[in-house]
Amino acid sequence: MLADVTHNGALLIKHLEYLSALSREKHFARAAAACQVTQPTLSAGIKHLEETLGVLIVERGQRFRGLTPEGERVLAWAQRILADVQSLKQDVSESRGGLTGRLKLGVVPAALPMVALVTTPFADRYPETTTTVLSLSSKEIQRGLDDFDLDVGLTYLDNEPLVRVRTVPLYRERYLLVTPNDGPFTGRKTVTWREASTLRLALLTPDMQNRRIIDTHFTEAGVTARPQIETNAIVTLESQLRLGSFSSVLPATAMTLLGNIPGMCSLPLVEPEPTHAVGLIVPDRDPMTPIVSALLQITSPAYVAGAIDRAAGVYHD
């Protein structure tokens, strides 16, 4: 009997994984591929889960049409149980002498240039772990933490509301105008936001919090920025700066990745001179998962802030 219970329990965990994958992929075949099983196996597993719990979980149809209200509640429990199972595996591996597992980190595009200051010390200290870094909007990061799809976020801390998380401030983001050397601001030490709005701009898309912050400061200066190029990737902005006659407003941290772009200069933006806190956010849950706890223990805000200031040539007052 004990063997049967253990076997059925293992199957139930697998069925919860099927449901989580189906919710994420919103397609039976893709969910099956993500779970490395056939589509009939995945469908049968979810059917068994429905029979075990006595509720309809998936809206019936030839294609995936969504989850029922009861299915949404089952999904929430499934995600929590799967996260606990993963934490259990990490805790056991750590007790055996070395932390293992995968750390899933969501990062806003503006912070990607400095993410190695967080991931490298962690990878050095825990070589048996794997870290997945995903470029996501701040809203996607919040949703990923809520849905147990992410372990940690690296995002803005003081601009838009954060819920159900703990925060670890790492640095203050400052803003630079990157513009051609032979443009209208040759020889200048600073540029106002109002002046910057008159240029041919390439900026991040409005779904990115960095762009919403930038728009706020243009508004504070009494102007509206109307970029000709919008993108959700810093690398695309770099391409426009290197190959086109565009200017952009970028965090000073971005220059640690882009470096000196031939024919371009970087000028601090003033009137106003804002800064915004950027840091780690983790789910406000106890106990904290071993892999998240390990990351927070190894991450030094002073080291991160100092490295960014030295690389970008920006110093605290």
| Number of domains, the chain | 3
In a domain, 93, yes or no: no
Residues 210 and 270 in one domain: yes
Helix/strand/coil for 176: strand
Q: Give the end of a domain, one of 17, 52, 87.
A: 87
Q: How far apart are CA 228 and CA 209, in angstroms?
A: 19
Rounded to the nearest 5°, which phi and psi values hold at 57? -100, -40
Model confidence pLDDT, tens digit, residues 272-306: 999 999 999 999 988 888 899 999 999 999 999 88
Residues 208-218 have a mean pLDDT of 95
The reply to whether 181 and 161 lie within a common domain is: no
Identify whether residues 237 and 261 lie together within a single domain: yes
On whether both 151 and 299 belong to a single domain, the answer is yes
Please indicate, yes or no, whether residues 167 and 295 belong to a single structural domain of this protein.
Answer: yes
Residue 77 has pLDDT above 60, yes or no: yes
CA distances 185 to 27, 98, 149, 299, Å, are: 52, 55, 45, 39
Residue 130, pLDDT score: 94
**Considering the domain boundaries, does residue 92 fall inside one?**
no
Amino acid identity of 249?
A: V
Residue 142 shares a structural domain with residue 71? no
Helical (H) or strand (E) element with 257: helix 254-258
Domain of residue 57, residue span:
2-87
Based on the domain organization, do 15 and 71 belong to the same domain?
Answer: yes
In this structure, the answer to whether residues 202 and 142 fall within a common structural domain is no
Is residue 158 located within the same domain as residue 281? yes
Report the CATH number that the domain containing residue 152 is assigned in CATH: 3.40.190.10
Q: Could you give the CA distance from residue 257 to residue 302 in angstroms, rounded to a whole number? A: 20
Q: What is the dihedral of CA 48, 54, 59, 64, to 10 degrees?
A: -20
- Which residues, other chains included, contact 317 with Cβ-Cβ below 8 Å and sequence gap of 6+? none
Q: pTM of the predicted model, to two decimals? A: 0.73
Quote the tokens at residue 158.
Answer: 């003081």
